[in-house]
């Protein structure tokens, strides 16, 4: 089987279970089986084309859908090593770094993305999140303000700004990961 054919089969299995552009992935009885089979096809594709960033990216999305954030982080990191200009790769890497507690790496990547696309409010909001989890509350607040200046109607950035204020005021515990931002404090 050629790498391209393996990749196409993998995408058909994985894509229905991927979370894309803020849209949550649907569940389903076949989710885990489809994702694991898709990853096996990606392994075949990588055997023939190990520097294909798209294969690494889709693998990261499959691992993300399985909840294997460590593996997803490694796959997105590899995709970014191959193609550092693709903003979505960096965005996913930042999310997985924040999920796995790699805040320094998340901040570094998010800063790089924001320098590459300074007018992208979503990337600035992600940088604000990274600063928040890295306990840089002043920088988080200023960055969230900059993102809101670019897109005042963005509800996600407004929620990030509110959470920064909650942490600063002691109404919410300092988050250590992305998942901590979604948990209700005890």
Q: What is the pLDDT of residues 49-90, one digit of tens each?
A: 999 999 999 999 999 999 999 999 999 999 999 999 999 999
Which of 3.60.15.10, 1.25.40.10, 3.10.129.10, 2.60.320.10 would CATH assign to domain 86-179? 1.25.40.10
For 64, the token pair is: 């993300």
CATH architecture of 1-83: Alpha Horseshoe (1.25)
Q: What span, in angstroms and rounded, lies between the C-alpha atoms of 137 and 62?
A: 33
Q: In terms of pLDDT, which residue wins out, 130 or 183? A: 130
Residue 144's pLDDT is 98
Who contacts 35 (Cβ-Cβ below 8 Å, separation ≥6)? 13, 14, 17, 62, 65, 66
Who contacts 52 (Cβ-Cβ below 8 Å, separation ≥6)? 3, 7, 45, 46, 82
- Residue 183 pLDDT level (bands cut at 50, 70, 90): confident
Could you give the residue range(s) of every CATH 1.25.40.10 domain in the chain? 1-83, 86-179
CA dihedral 137, 140, 141, 144 (to 10 degrees): -160
For 78, the token pair is: 């590899």
- Residue 19 pLDDT level (bands cut at 50, 70, 90): confident
In this structure, is the dihedral angle defined by the CA atoms of residues 164, 169, 175 and 180, taken in order, positive or negative? Answer: negative
Kindly report the length of the chain: 186
The answer, as to whether pTM is greater than 0.85, is: yes
Alpha helices by DSSP H, the chain: 3-14, 31-48, 53-66, 69-82, 87-99, 103-116, 121-133, 137-150, 155-169
For 41, the token pair is: 């096809």
CB 104 within 8 A of CB 133: no
């Amino acid at each position: 089987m050629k790498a391209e054919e393996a990749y196409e089969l993998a995408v058909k299995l994985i894509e229905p279970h991927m979370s894309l552009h803020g849209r949550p992935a649907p569940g389903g009885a076949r989710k885990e089986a489809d994702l694991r089979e898709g990853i096996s096809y990606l392994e075949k594709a990588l055997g023939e084309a190990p520097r294909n960033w798209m294969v690494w990216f889709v693998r990261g999305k499959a691992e993300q859908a399985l909840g294997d954030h460590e593996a997803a982080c490694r796959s997105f990191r590899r995709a970014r090593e191959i193609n550092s200009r693709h903003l979505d790769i960096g965005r996913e890497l930042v999310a997985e770094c924040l999920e796995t507690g790699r805040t320094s790496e998340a901040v570094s990547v998010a800063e790089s993305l924001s320098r590459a696309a300074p007018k992208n409010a979503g990337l600035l909001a992600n940088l604000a999140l990274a600063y928040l989890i890295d306990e840089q509350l002043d920088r988080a607040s200023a960055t969230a303000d900059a993102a809101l200046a670019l897109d005042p109607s963005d509800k996600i950035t407004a929620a990030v700004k509110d959470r920064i204020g909650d942490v600063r005021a002691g109404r919410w515990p300092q988050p250590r990961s992305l998942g901590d931002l979604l948990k209700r404090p005890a």
